[in-house]
Amino acid sequence: MTPAVRLRGATKRFGTFTALDDVSLDIERGEVFALLGPNGAGKTTLISVVAGTSRLSSGTVEVLGHDVVSDYQFTRRAVGLVPQEINFDPFFNVEETLKLQAGYFGVRLPDDRLVEILTALGLLDKRKAMTRSLSGGMKRRLLIAKALVHRPPVLFLDEPTAGVDVELRRDLWNYVRKLADAGTTVVLTTHYLEEAEELADRIGVIKNGKLLVVERKADLMSRFSHRTVRLTLLQPLLALPQGVLEAGAVLADAGKVIVFSPRAGDGISAPLAAVAASGLRVVDVQTREPRLEAVIIELLRAQAPLLAALAGTMPEVPALPGVAAQIASTTRPAPLLPAPDPLVPLLGVRTLFRKEVTRFLRVPGQTILSPLITTALYFVVFGYSLGGRLREIDGIPYIRFLVPGLVMLGVISNAFLNTSSSLFIMKLQGTMVDVLVTPLSYLEFLAAFVGAGVLRAFLVGTLTWATAAVFVGAYVPHPFLALLAGLLVSLAFSSLGLIVSLWAEKFEQVNFIPTFVITPLTFLGGVFYSATMLPPHFQLFLHINPIYYMIESMRYALIGHVGSPPATGFAILAVLAFALVTTALTLLRRGYKLRT
C-alpha cells in the first residue's frame, strides 16, 4: 500500500534559516510514529507542511498518495492536527466548538458521534461549558477532540501532553493505542521520551532540520544502547581479575561495584560465570534495561561530527552506522482506514459564515448597538443643531440630507471592522489553524468572512436608516440602488478589512486604517455638507475622494439628490469592490502571512 505520509526532498527555508533540510520519509499506515529531536529541530515544521499550515520551499509531500498542494482538499480531509499551542475561541462552548470544526470539513457531527468523542476524552460533563472556563488539561483534550471530529485516517499530535498531569497523560496514551488499533496512523512529537517509548512502533530522530535515523523502536534501542548489570561486591577491589576483565567488566564506586554493559541480544551468563570463577562474593545484583532517553542522547552526540560535515564546517567523514533513514514496515497487519462521514455540499463555507455571524451577534452591544447609537447621535446632534441654521441644502431639509451619509458611515465602518477584527483575533489567539487545516477553498474562506462583514454592515446600515425614518419618513426613491450601493461598499470594505488583518502584526496596525484613513476620508467625503457649499479648490479634493462617491450614490438612492452623476458613482464603487475583492483573494491564494 502507499504510505500514509510520504516526503521526498522536503526542504523548508525561512529566509536564510533552513528548518527542514532535504527530508525523505515514509510513514506507514496504521503505525504510531514518534518524531523526536531537540527544540528547533524541525518537528513542528514537518507537521505543518503535511497539515497544510506551511508550504515547502522545495520537495514534495503526499498523504495517502495525494499531493498536499495540488490535491489539498483531499489531504486536509485525511489529516487531523493537534497543534502544540492551546487555542480556543471564547465565544463558543465545547459542543459548539466541535460542531463548528466538523462543519469546516464538510461533515455533520451527529449527537451519538459527539457523545462518543466527549466520553472517550473525559469531556462529556463539560459539553455545555464555555471553552474559556476549561482547565489547561481539559483544553488539551478539546484540541484532540477537534482533530478527530471528521474521522481522519492520519492524526498528528504535536506535544499533546505538554503541561498535563500524569493521570491525563496515561488516559491519552490509552486512547492513542485505541486509535492506532482501529487503523488510524498516529504521528507524535514529544519531549516526554517515556511517551514515545510507550506508544511508538517506529522512531524518527531529527536535528537541525536533518532526519538522522528512522528505525523500529526495538532496533534503534539495540543499536544505540545496552543493558547495564551492576554487581555489588562484599569486599572492594583494587583491580579486576583477568577473566572478569576479558568478559567486558569495569570497576565502579571505589571498587565496590562491577559493571557489565551487554548489548541487546547478548546474554549475561558468560560475565556472571567469569565472576563466579574468580571467587568474588556478590551481595547484590541490579539490571537496568535501556531507556529511550539514553538512546536519543547517545544518538545526537554520535551525529555531531557528521552534522558538522554536512554543514561544510569540517572535512566529510564516513556515515556512522544507522545514520541513513531506514524505512521499515510495521508488524501490524494492513489496517483499514476509518470510515469517512459523508460530505455535505457547501457545509464548510456555511459553517464558517455562521460562526462569524454568531460571533458578532453574541456581543450586540459592541458590534451593533454601539455604532447605531453613535450614528443616531450624529443624526440628532447635527440634524437638529445645524438644521436649525442651515434649514435646507439644495432644496432638501438638512436633517433628511444627513441620512444617506450616516447610513454609509455605518456601512463602511462595520464592514471593515468585522473582518479586520475577527481575522486578526484569530491570528492572535492561534485559532486560525482550525481553519487553515480544513479543505475550505480560498474562495470559500473569502466568501464566509466577507459575507459576515456584509451582513453586519447591512444590519447596522438598515437600523440607522430605520432610526432616521422615524424623524424624516421612510420614503426611498430608488430602493434597488440603495441595496446595490450598500452591497458594493460593504464588499469593498470587508475585503479591505481582510487585507489589513492579513498584513497587520499588531493591534495598532489594524486600528491605523480606520483611525487615520477611513474616518478622515469619510468626514471629508460630504457626510454633513454638499459639494456646492465648498470653495472650488476644496471641491477638487472632494472629487478625488472615493468615499464621496459612495455617499453620493447612497444619497441619490435614498433621497434622490444628485451631487455627481449616479452612473459615475456606481461605476467607481463597482471597480473599487472588484479590485479589493480580487486583491484579498490573491493574498489568500498565496497564503500571505497565513501559510508560512
pLDDT digits (tens, 9 = 90+) for 490-521: 999 999 999 999 999 998 899 998 889 998 89
pLDDT at 314: 35
DSSP 504: -
Name the band, by pLDDT with cuts 50, 70 and 90, for residue 387: low
Cβ burial of 304 (10 Å; 0-12, 13-18, 19+) is: exposed
Residue for grid cell 462569524: 356
- Please give the pLDDT value at position 225: 59
Highest-pLDDT range among 226-235, 237-246, 465-474: 465-474
Q: Is the pLDDT of residue 307 over 50?
A: no
pLDDT score of 173: 86
Please give the average per-residue pLDDT across 350-368, as a whole number: 91
Say whether pLDDT at 276 is over 70: yes
Question: Contact, 180 vs 34, CB < 8 A?
Answer: no
The whole-number pLDDT of residue 523 equals 83
pLDDT of the residue at 326: 41
Q: Residue 65 — very low, low, confident or very high, per pLDDT cuts 50/70/90?
A: very high
Dump pLDDT digits (tens) for 11-34. Answer: 999 989 999 999 999 999 999 999
Other CB atoms within a 10 A radius of the CB of residue 318 amount to 9
> What average pLDDT does the structure give for the chain?
85
Does 302 score more than 70 pLDDT? Answer: no
pLDDT confidence tier of residue 338, bands split at 50, 70 and 90: low
> Which residue from 80, 86, 62, 82 is spatially nearest to 72, judged by alpha carbons?
62
Give residue 388's pLDDT.
59
pLDDT the model gives residue 198: 87
Please give the pLDDT value at position 481. Answer: 96
Q: How does strand 210-216 pair with strand 202-207?
A: antiparallel
DSSP per position, 37-60: -STTSSHHHHHHHHHTSS--SEEE
Q: How confident is the model at residue 319 (pLDDT cuts 50, 70, 90)?
A: very low
Tens digits of residue pLDDT in 540-557: 778 889 999 999 999 999
Quick one: pLDDT band at residue 290, thresholds 50, 70, 90?
low
Percent of the chain with pLDDT over 70: 88
pLDDT at 337: 53
Q: Indicate the CATH number for domain 226-289.
A: 3.30.70.1560
What share of the chain in percent tops pLDDT 90? 47
pLDDT(92) > 90: yes
Domain boundaries, the chain: 5-222, 226-289, 352-590
Q: What is the chain's length? A: 596
pLDDT band at residue 157 under the 50/70/90 scheme: very high
How confident is the model over 252-274, as a mean pLDDT? Answer: 75
Name which residue leads in pLDDT, 363 or 339. Answer: 363
CA neighbor of 175 nearest in space, from 135, 123, 248 = 123
pTM comes to: 0.84
Give 166 or 416, the one with higher predicted confidence. 416
Amino acid identity of 530?
Answer: S
- What's the rounded Cα separation, in Å, for the pair 230 and 228? 6
Which DSSP helix (H) or strand (E) runs through 468?
Answer: helix 442-472
Q: CATH number for the 5-222 domain, one of 3.10.129.10, 3.10.310.10, 3.40.50.300, 3.40.140.10?
A: 3.40.50.300
Tell me whether residue 404 is exposed, middle or buried, using C-beta atoms within 10 angstroms of its C-beta: 0 to 12, 13 to 18, 19 or more. Answer: buried
Strands 250-252 and 257-260, by their bridges, are antiparallel
Long-range contact pairs involving 255-261 (C-beta distance under 8 Å, separation at least 24): 256/232, 257/230, 257/231, 257/232, 257/233, 258/230, 258/231, 258/233, 259/228, 259/229, 259/230, 259/231, 260/228, 260/229, 260/231, 261/226, 261/227, 261/228, 261/229
Model pLDDT, residue 486? 96
Q: Which pLDDT score is estimated for 281?
A: 84
pLDDT band at 384 (very low <50, low <70, confident <90, very high): low
Cα first-last separation, the chain: 31
Rounded to an integer, the average pLDDT of 66-87 is: 93
In whole angstroms, give the CA distance from residue 292 to residue 204. 12
Radius of gyration from C-alpha coordinates of the chain: 33
**61 sits in which H/E element:** strand 58-63
Q: What is the mean pLDDT of residues 78-105?
A: 93
Residue 389: predicted pLDDT: 61
